[in-house]
């Protein structure tokens, strides 16, 4: 007999196609990842509005990861004045790490070093000064005499050292910078941008955090010599750990600041403020905007 009268039992099938199930799973994972990312973003990690009465002609504010929080004319080349010394000192710390000389090594000050153009710590010809003392004099007092003494340990001449500075600038990605001296004297072929200064400041802190051992101190005494920080914010605002001041006739009043509050940090670059007082006041205002209040 035939089986025409026998009915086959159909197997139940899901109405959901495999592709849709996979898509739904992917969406769930993406939503979870987004929620996690939003959960770890700090509320202050955002863009801030520069003060309306800002007098600096160039400004850059970076968070600790290098993210831009504010910028004004950040890619315009300007005379960096003594902010130049951050690169000079970056290379000096490189030499220390390489064992080229030590903090205890001494330099006998020459007449040329003692009379170097620009701001001076006050070294005297014939004076024997340690590398550690020279670092303090360069970082806190912005002494061009101290810089020239340090350069004498690193290179045969300032010209040779400047060649190294320009090579280092290229390696560090300072695309809008060029140097003609190691101290920051005004010159047509000596310039930096606020963006490059922000990059340099980050590299200095990350590669040579020992720089902060000096720049974060309002005053230092080393081997009988006393040093006083030209950055008024150091000591006045506990968040501020330095970095460098700079002033020249063409460059104006400049300031690069590194600050930290808890686990968060920022870098502020101000170029060509209208006065020494304003560069500190404007930086203080920006710090309060970044961290959401006074320190």
Helices 194-207/158-172 angle, 10° precision: 90
Q: Which residue has the tokens 């309060």?
A: 288
Per the annotation, the verdict on 7 as an active-site residue is no
- Rounded Cα gap, residues 214 and 234, in angstroms: 11
Q: Of 82, 119, 216, 273, which residue is the catalytic one?
A: 82
Q: What is the DSSP string of 222-249?
A: ETTEEEE-S-TTTTTSTTEEEEEEEEET
Q: Of 85, 177, 216, 244, which residue is the catalytic one?
A: 85
Q: How far apart are the first and last CA of the chain?
A: 97
Per the annotation, the verdict on 275 as an active-site residue is no
| Residue 168: count of CB within 10 angstroms of its CB | 18
- Rounded Cα gap, residues 239 and 55, in angstroms: 23
Element (H, E) at 253: strand 252-261
Phi-psi map region of 126: left, alpha, beta (phi>0 left; psi -120 to 50 alpha): left
Q: Of 58, 79, 119, 142, which residue is the catalytic one?
A: 142
Structural tokens at position 166 = 């320009």
Per the annotation, the verdict on 85 as an active-site residue is yes
Are the CB atoms for 93 and 139 separated by under 8 Å?
no
Structural tokens at position 245 = 């001041």
Catalogue the active-site residues.
82, 85, 142
């Amino acid at each position: 007999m035939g089986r025409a009268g026998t009915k086959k039992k159909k197997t139940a099938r899901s109405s959901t196609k495999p592709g849709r199930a996979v898509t739904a799973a992917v969406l769930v994972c993406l939503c979870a990842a987004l929620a996690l990312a939003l959960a770890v973003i700090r509320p202050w990690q955002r863009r801030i509005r520069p003060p309306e009465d800002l007098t600096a002609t160039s400004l850059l504010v970076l968070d600790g990861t290098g993210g831009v929080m504010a910028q004004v004319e950040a890619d315009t080349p300007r005379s960096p004045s003594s902010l130049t010394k951050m690169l000079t000192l970056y290379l000096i710390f490189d030499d220390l790490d390489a064992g080229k000389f030590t903090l205890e090594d001494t330099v006998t000050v020459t007449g040329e070093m003692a009379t170097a153009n620009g701001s001076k710590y006050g070294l005297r010809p014939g004076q024997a000064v340690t590398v550690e003392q020279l670092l303090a004099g360069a970082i806190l007092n912005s002494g061009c005499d101290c810089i020239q003494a340090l350069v004498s340990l690193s290179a045969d001449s300032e010209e040779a050292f400047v060649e190294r500075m320009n090579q280092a600038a290229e390696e560090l990605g300072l695309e809008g910078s060029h140097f003609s001296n190691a101290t920051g004297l005004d010159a047509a072929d000596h310039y930096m941008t606020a963006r490059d200064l922000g990059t340099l400041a980050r590299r200095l802190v990350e590669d040579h955090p020992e720089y902060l051992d000096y720049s974060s101190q309002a005053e230092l005494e080393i081997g009988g010599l006393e040093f006083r920080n030209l950055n008024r914010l150091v000591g006045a605002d506990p968040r501020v750990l330095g970095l460098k001041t700079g002033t020249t006739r063409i460059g104006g009043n400049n300031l690069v600041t590194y600050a930290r509050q808890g686990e968060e940090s920022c870098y502020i670059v101000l170029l060509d403020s209208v006065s020494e007082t304003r560069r500190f006041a404007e930086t203080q205002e920006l710090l309060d905007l970044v961290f959401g209040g006074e320190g």
